[in-house]
Structures are given as structure tokens and as C-alpha cells.
Amino acid sequence: MFVAWQKEKPHVITDHSASGLNDGIPRTEAKVHYDDMRIFGQILFNARCQHHGQRLVMWKSDIASAFLNLPAHPLWQLRQIVVVDGKFYIVWRLVFGNRASPRIFCSLSGLLCWIAVKKLGIEGLLVYMDDFYGWDFADNLIKFHGRRRPCWQVLLLTFWEAIGCPYEDRKQEDGDCLKIIGFWVDPNRGSISLPPDSVDTIVTHITSFLTHPKCSPILCDWQRLELTWLAGVIRHAIGVRFVDSLNWMDNKADIVLWTDASLRLALSFYYSGNGFVYQLRPPPPGTAIDIFFLELIAIMSAIFHVASFKSPPRRILLFTDSLDAVGLLNSLAASEDQHNAPLLGIT
């Protein structure tokens, strides 16, 4: 056992990896699929479209003690005996440090979320482990425990009280802009971004890492350039605007582009009756040509061109015959170093 400090709060960890207990639990059976910001962004996008002009508020509610609410199987409790000051203690509840604890607890929290949505009618509710979060209308507030709160949050807390689910009132939050699982969410501005303190921490760690004497001879030039680029751009990033970046129908595009590249002739892109062709200089005999790189350059050139408009389009529909390029832009992860440069240029 050991204590891990997180946000100035101690968490007792019973390490089942060091003891080998986790080795008996298959990773596939402990895997959890969490609700994330992509799903929530789509929910907020839909809410804004359906209730255009109405101000929204965010809210989140936290179950107290999480894993400690659930008992372990009696036979498993015998494996959780710990020694403190020479005395043996049986830990009868789920513990931090066991591979299966998140899966077991999320089965319960998922059930509570399902009941709240399907039976209580709470719209747009999601859950991440023990954190439940959602939206409501800014004028749909009622008084609960001494202050006005979103109606759907009050409905969830009333449900928890009815079934004996513990929570701390001070941890039940709401507001126009709220920090949800590490991200600042502003439903009325339509943005999801990292909080300023997290950005400062990232930049500080990157700078410290880059200036560490032991990193100077080890880091490759492209690694140093990418980290330097990230530290420079992240402070000015506006976050993800889910009003623009989520799924939309093809016919909603502001502009449609077609791009292509050939091994030895040219790069090209086309839109609205305008075509642009950039001839390639013939390479020396025997030179290997990376067609994937050329396809990315064509895409980057097309996006850069329309982004330079006086009023650049927000929704760009781009067609390419390179499936690899689609996969790269979807994952934002290049498997080969030479593809990082056009990827950084596009993003």
C-alpha cells in the first residue's frame, strides 16, 4: 500500500500489480469504454441546434468515494489482506490499484446514468467513472440545498438520495463555463479547450525537458522541432469549436475541394471552377518517389489556399484518392518522419 497525492488530496493505493493479483485478471475483461468530449460535443451541438438562441449552463455531479462504495467478493477479500503496524486487516471493498475496479464501478455508474436518462428524462447526461455531467437551460433553475441549481442536476441528486448513493454537496457544480474531465466547456461559445493552468503546466514541462542537459545530445532535430512548435502554439490555441468541427452533412460544406498528385508530373487541386496545377521538377534517375508525401502536400496546398481567403470557409469538404492521407488526418499520427512536416502544416 502507498499514498498518491492528487490535487492536494491523498489516495490510498493498494498495488495489486506488484503483488501479482492483477496478472490473474485478463486486460480484455477489465477494459472500459468511457464517454468522452467528442460525444459530449455532439450532444451540445445538437442542443444548440434544437434550442437556437437559448442560453445553456453546464453542470456536473460527483459520487463520493467511488470504488469504496462497492464490496469485493468474500473470497477475493481474502486476497486483499494488508499489514499495518504489524496488524492484519481485511480490505472488504474495491480498491484503487486493482485492474477490475474501474470496470466493476463503471457497470454501476453506467446503470445509474441509464436510469437517469431513460426513466427520469434527463437529456444529454454522460458519465466518466464517478463524474456525471450534462447541460440544462440557463432559466431552468430550482432551489436545492440552499441555492439555485439546474433542474436536471437536482433531479439526479434527488435520485441518488432516494437510493442512498453518497455525494458531497460542495462537489456538485454548475455554471456558464465548467471544467469537465479536465477540459473547459463553454456551451454558448461552442468551445472545448484545455484550462489555462493545464496549458502552463504542459509548456513548463516541455521547456524543462528541452533544456535538460541530458536531452541535448539524445533528441533528434525533428523531435526538438515538434516539441518547440507545440510549446509555442498551444498558448494561442482556441480549443475545439464543436459548433464547427463535429459531424455535418456534405451539402452543408462552405467549399468543396478536389486534390490529386502524380509520381512525376504535378500536384493539383480544384474548387468552384478554379483549377491549380504545380508541375514537379524531374527527379534524378533512380530516385524513389513518395506518392503519399506528394498527396499530403497537395492537400496542404489546397487548405492553405482557401484559408488565405479574406473570409475563409469553416466547413471544408475535401476529396482525395489517397486512403492513407485520410487515415493520417483522422489519427493525426504519422508513422514515418517525413510525413510529419505536411501534417503539422495542415493542422
Model confidence pLDDT, tens digit, residues 130-174: 999 999 999 999 999 999 999 999 999 999 999 999 999 999 999
Q: What is the pLDDT of residue 245?
A: 56
Amino acid at position 160, single letter: W
**At residue 189, does pLDDT exceed 80?**
yes
Q: How far is CA 50 from CA 56, 60, 178, in A?
A: 12, 22, 22
pTM of the entire structure? 0.68
Length of the chain: 347
User: Residue 264 corresponds to which cell in the numbers above?
Assistant: 512525376
Alpha-carbon span 163 to 148, nearest angstrom: 23
Pick 85 or 220 by higher pLDDT. 85
**335-343 average pLDDT score:** 79
Q: What is the pLDDT of residue 256?
A: 96
Average pLDDT for the chain: 86
**111 confidence band (pLDDT: 50, 70, 90):** very high
Alpha-carbon span 316 to 307, nearest angstrom: 10
Domains in the chain with CATH codes: 2-193 (no CATH), 248-346 (3.30.420.10)
According to DSSP, residue 171 is labeled G
φ/ψ (deg, to 5) at 40: -70, -35
Pick 126 or 9 by higher pLDDT. 126
**11 confidence band (pLDDT: 50, 70, 90):** low
Q: What percent of the chain has pLDDT over 90?
A: 41
Alpha-carbon span 315 to 305, nearest angstrom: 14
**308-327 average pLDDT score:** 90
Q: What is the pLDDT of residue 267?
A: 93
Contact 138, 45 (CB under 8 A): no
**At residue 306, does pLDDT exceed 60?**
yes
Q: What is the pLDDT of residue 196?
A: 81
**11-23 average pLDDT score:** 70
User: Residue 231 corresponds to which cell in the numbers above?
Assistant: 510549446
